[in-house]
């Protein structure tokens, strides 16, 4: 099979990681946001599972050993989320879901790690780095771009807190995946941070009713 021209991959990258979020931001796609996310996830998953050059060990821990660093990074993230929550949220909104919408909160705690965290990490880390890293000569550029595009995804929530927060943590998860090549590790971190976000109340900025 002939190699895919770089221009094709550039068009793909722009369409998937810029075009889709921007289209949703301007309401150009009149359908729930979860539908294209699911379609892209299935395409990305199929690509990774059927591509021989992609190590399937990346779906597991892939020899990951930096547990102390991971624990410290998660702790710092949770402390930062707590600080932002107490700054930007009214007191009645703190821990609103577990206190007042317990059933919804439990559903989020169960489904977020699978539906949101793992899905996004397959697309933004596994698929993105394997398919588009060859377009770049500098590793720092591809890691930085990945973090920026992850932040751009969050323009669908229409607030700067979601975009800024996702961009910052996107840099961290991009570097972690690039270094260790473990979708499971970044998904685990993403799930813990995301679940805490919705538990403490800051998840208010990461929600849209038509998702």
Task: Please list the alpha-helical segments (H only) found in 89-204.
Answer: 96-100, 102-111, 119-121, 128-132, 139-153, 160-180, 183-200
> What pLDDT sits at residue 203?
94
Distance, in Å, from the CA atom of 73 to the CA atom of 4, rounded to the nearest integer, reads 37
Q: Is the dihedral of CA 202, 127, 22, 138 positive or negative?
A: positive
Distance, in Å, from the CA atom of 176 to the CA atom of 178, rounded to the nearest integer, reads 6
Structure tokens at 18: 């810029």
Q: Among residues 130, 125, 151, which one has the least CA distance to residue 21?
A: 151
Distance, in Å, from the CA atom of 147 to the CA atom of 140, rounded to the nearest integer, reads 11
Distance, in Å, from the CA atom of 13 to the CA atom of 16, rounded to the nearest integer, reads 5
Structure tokens at 2: 């002939």
CB count, 10 Å around CB of 111? 11
Question: pLDDT tens digits for the chain (211 residues)?
Answer: 567 789 999 999 999 999 999 998 988 777 777 888 999 999 999 999 999 999 999 999 999 999 999 999 999 999 999 999 999 999 999 999 999 999 999 999 999 999 999 999 999 999 999 999 999 999 999 999 999 999 999 999 999 999 999 999 999 999 999 999 999 999 999 999 999 999 999 999 998 766 6
Distance, in Å, from the CA atom of 184 to the CA atom of 188, rounded to the nearest integer, reads 6
> What pLDDT sits at residue 207?
85
> What pLDDT sits at residue 61?
97
The residue whose two tokens read 């840099």 is: 171
CA atoms within 13 A on the CB side of 171: 10
Q: Report pTM.
A: 0.94
Distance, in Å, from the CA atom of 43 to the CA atom of 127, rounded to the nearest integer, reads 9
**Cβ within 8 Å of residue 207, ≥6 positions away:** 157
Exposed, middle or buried: residue 5 (CB in 10 Å: 0-12, 13-18, 19+)? exposed
Structure tokens at 147: 């973090």
């Amino acid at each position: 099979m002939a190699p895919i021209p770089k221009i094709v991959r550039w068009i793909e990258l722009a369409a998937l990681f810029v075009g889709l979020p921007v289209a949703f931001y301007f309401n150009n796609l009149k359908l729930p946001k979860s539908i294209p996310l699911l379609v892209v996830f299935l395409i990305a998953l199929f690509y990774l599972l059927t591509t021989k050059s992609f190590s399937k060990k990346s779906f597991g821990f892939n020899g990951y050993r930096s547990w102390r660093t991971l624990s410290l990074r998660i702790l710092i993230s949770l402390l930062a989320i707590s600080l932002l929550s107490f700054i930007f949220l009214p007191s009645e909104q703190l821990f609103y879901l577990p206190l007042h919408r317990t059933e919804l909160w439990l559903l989020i705690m169960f489904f977020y790690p699978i539906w949101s965290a793992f899905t996004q990490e397959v697309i933004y880390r596994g698929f993105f780095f394997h398919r588009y890293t060859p377009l770049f000569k500098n590793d720092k550029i591809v890691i930085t771009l990945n973090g920026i595009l992850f932040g751009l995804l969050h323009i669908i929530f229409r607030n700067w807190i979601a975009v800024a927060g996702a961009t910052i943590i996107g840099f961290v998860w991009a570097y972690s995946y690039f270094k260790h090549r473990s979708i499971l590790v970044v998904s685990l971190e993403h799930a813990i941070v995301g679940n805490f976000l919705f538990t403490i109340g800051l998840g208010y900025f990461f929600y849209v009713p038509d998702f």
